[in-house]
Amino acid sequence: MFLKGKTAIVTGSTSGIGLAYAKALAAEGASVMINGFGDADEIEAERAALEAASGARAAYSDADMSDPAAIEAMVTQCAEELGTADIAIANAGIQHVSPIEDFPVEKWDAIIAINLSSAWHLARLTVPAMKQKGWGRIICTASAHSLVASPFKSAYNASKFGVAGIVKTVALETAQDGITVNCISPGYVWTPLIEKQIPDTMRARGMTRDEVINDVLLAAQPTKQFVTPEQVANFALYLCRDEAASITGANLSMDGGWTAQ
């Protein structure tokens, strides 16, 4: 358990990639604060399971990632209940797909706030304690869309390109402080959110399940395989190791060859 004695915050971590991060960190002994929305009983069960896995404490914050004051309160809660964050993973994100002329302004504002600004706030609020300790890991979930664009996703593309920019900048600012700052850029990841979209797409396009998966969802991924949340989480775990101390300011693709094209 190489993270015993370390504390981590993971935003957007009550399901999907975020929960996989939390489980991987806890399995290596870290105290973990999870964050997000969902069924209260299910969240409590996950929190308790993290404690059982880590032998350390786990906490939960329902902070709204579109609210800077709530993000600050979450970081303060983490410090009070678990200790200041050694590892901060900015994972919270939302999506909306629309032509730019029809794109709702409120959707643009929400995506920029949750996907981009919340990552900036998490970094600014956790860097001071990391500097004091001389060790820290900041990891952002970006996307293949931090490197290449897709139509009808102007806000999401902008937010993920922005995340990559934050990562590079903060990495340079903290390069001599024992802190690394990186983003992981997955392609399509197999999550419940993706799985639930398949039946609707089958009906809308008159396709079979396999056609939707291969010709729609995985059209851009040469491997024709989904990335799994566990693969992303284990990549993040590696970035927390001492062996990864020289990896900083990097946008790390994990997209089945998507951005190699």
Catalytic (active-site) positions: 156
- At residue 228, what is the residue type? T
Beta carbons of 248 and 173 less than 8 angstroms apart = no
* Number of residues in the chain: 261
- Which residue, among 182, 162, 155, 161, has the nearest Cα to 249 in the 3D structure? 182
CA–CA separation, 83 and 6 (whole Å): 8
CA–CA separation, 147 and 31 (whole Å): 33
CA–CA separation, 45 and 51 (whole Å): 10
* Burial of 48 (C-beta count, 10 Å sphere; 0-12/13-18/19+): exposed
* Residue ranges of E strands in the chain: 7-10, 31-35, 58-61, 87-90, 136-141, 179-186, 251-254
